[in-house]
Amino acid sequence: MPELPEVETVVRGLRLVLPGRRITGVRLSAKTDFIDDPASLERELPGTRVTGIERFGKFMVIGLEREGGLEREGRGKDDGEIALLMHLGMTGQIVVTPAEAPVPPHTHMFLALDDGRELRYTDIRRFGRIRILLDGEREALIGRLGLDPLEMSEGDFRETITSRSAQIKALLMDQRVLRGMGNIYTDESLWRAKIHPRRLGTKLSEREVKALYKAIHGVLTEAIRSRGSSVSDYVDSDGQRGEFQLRHRVYQREGKKCFRCGGVIRRAIVAGRSSFFCPKCQRAPRSKRKD
């Protein structure tokens, strides 16, 4: 479910309610195989106060400070700052709700807050990730990620893309190249830029790269404005669905008419993922198979 616009929407929702709140308790379900070191959550989180929430691609980082941060001895560098890293995977949901509200199935983490509410993490498939970040680990994480698609310059984008020989679809979804793009927004951006998903990064023309840069920026900002795409089960931190799925031009439109040229949208596996495109206005590269 969640790509950059969905995660941004969740983060904005959390920023309205979490900063200043204190975590008073932690409860985990029996299935914590997707959590790195579950015991560290129970050890580190209680008693901390939320300082802010940041997003890096599809990762959320909740900043936390420990009250009277000097209490822990023998840790010279410890200034009381830690962070909670969360990734929603395919089916993760974060909701802040009254503690007495009914608990949906597959809810695996409950953070009790000092205002009587709970931050809950629900994830059917458990492809998400949760872990504590200590000093330096946050920089290490960011260092492994590529450019932020909304902050990169056109020059940086061109340099990054045209120096790679992989298929453009794979490049856009590779979090070490760009951070935040997933299957939906990649297909939508490629359609806008009239570029076939199987084209190779090195073979894109100057004007195609420029069109793609603009397409990505447009798709992502519009999707954020619509509070993300709810294709199946995405909801924001208030449990609300997004609306950008109403504006999809190719995603899940196999067999329907292209909004631009009237061609028939096709579906094919590219870079291991289901990919939607218009074979008429997104010309396939030669060689390989044609479509």
Partner DNA sequence: CTTACGGCCTGGGTGC
Partner DNA sequence: TGCACCCAGGCCGTAA
Catalytic residues: 2-3, 58, 273
Is residue 210 involved in binding DNA (CB under 7 A)?
A: no
Nearer to DNA among residue 33 and residue 73 (C-beta): 33
What would the two tokens of residue 198 be? Answer: 């199987």
Query: Which residue of 8, 14, 35, 57 would you call a contact of DNA, by CB under 7 A?
Result: 57
Contact between 251 and 276 under an 8 Å Cβ cutoff? The reply is: yes
3-state secondary structure of 219: helix
Query: Which residue of 48, 93, 167, 282 would you call a contact of DNA, by CB under 7 A?
Result: 167
Sheet holding 23-28, edge to edge: 23-28, 107-113, 117-123, 92-98
Nearer to DNA among residue 149 and residue 242 (C-beta): 242
Nearer to DNA among residue 63 and residue 180 (C-beta): 180
Reported for 153-157, long-range contacts at CB under 8 A and 24+ positions apart, including other chains, are 154/209, 154/210, 154/213, 157/209, 157/212, 157/213
Is residue 8 involved in binding DNA (CB under 7 A)?
A: no
Nearer to DNA among residue 153 and residue 274 (C-beta): 274
Taking CB under 7 A as the criterion, which residues in 59-78 touch DNA?
A: none
Query: Which residue of 271, 277, 278, 282 would you call a contact of DNA, by CB under 7 A?
Result: 271
CB 11 to DNA: min, Å: 15
Site size for DNA (CB under 7 A):
42
Element of type H or E holding 132: strand 129-133
Taking CB under 7 A as the criterion, which residues in 136-155 touch DNA?
A: none
Sheet holding 81-87, edge to edge: 48-56, 59-66, 81-87, 129-133
What is the rounded CA–CA span in Å between residue 57 and residue 130? Answer: 15
Nearer to DNA among residue 86 and residue 113 (C-beta): 86
Query: Which residue of 106, 158, 260, 280 would you call a contact of DNA, by CB under 7 A?
Result: 106
64, 58, 82, 68: which is closest to 5 by C-alpha?
Answer: 58
Residues within the interface to DNA (CB under 7 A) = 1-3, 6, 31, 33, 57-58, 87, 89-90, 105-106, 124-127, 164-167, 170-171, 173, 175, 182-184, 201, 228-234, 242, 267, 271-274
